[in-house]
Amino acid sequence: MDTQVEIRLCGTKPLVFKKEDVERLRCQHRIVGALIGALPRLPLQNAYPGLPLLLSAEEATLLISKDFAVMNASGNWTFLKTDLDRLRYRVFEYLWSKQLYITRGLKFGGDFMAYPGDPMRFHSHYIVLATERDSPLALLDIISKGRLAINVKKTFVIAGPAEESSDDDIETFSIQWAGF
């Protein structure tokens, strides 16, 4: 078994500082995160960030729950505080289990972006919104998100808990705009 990746908690931000760990996360576990540091030899440029790697709360929780990583912090990792946190994590874990790479999706009006391979080499296919099954969605929001997704060559996906009678934990619905 590989050694566990060390995650350090700085305030509430889970960070990875070792380049070997960052490589392992990306290549073996499909965890992308976001580089947020300055490069040692070019500290004033901001086009190419360096270490540390900032993990999303969902990424850190998945790594810890799968025993791929250990949190090096004085306190305990307590991300799953609200129902929305738990739902987003369940959707993240579901997408990850489907062999997808996942990044944040706020830029496109969703919770996540899902890629068929490493985001450095692949275009994302899906904008994913995590929502409760009985949560109302305005028709105008569905239309606008579907149209936005098609304009950026993606499919908009609504993901949430499956019906109790279903064998699946998460149910997904895709929205595509036919256009004229």
Question: For residues 112 and 122, what is the distance between their CA atoms, to the nearest angstrom?
Answer: 15
Q: What is the CA radius of gyration of the chain?
A: 18
Helix, strand, or coil (residue 174): strand
Select which of 94, 101, 115, 126 is catalytic.
Answer: 115
Residue 115 is among the residues annotated as catalytic for this protein: yes
Look at phi and psi of residue 55 and say left if phi exceeds 0, alpha if psi is from -120 to 50, else beta.
beta
Select which of 13, 98, 107, 123 is catalytic.
Answer: 123
Question: For residues 70 and 60, what is the distance between their CA atoms, to the nearest angstrom?
Answer: 9
Residue 107 is among the residues annotated as catalytic for this protein: no
Label residues 109-129 b or e (16+ Cβ within 10 Å = b). ebbbbbbeeebeeeebbbbbb
Residue 154 is among the residues annotated as catalytic for this protein: yes
Residues known to be catalytic: 115, 123, 154
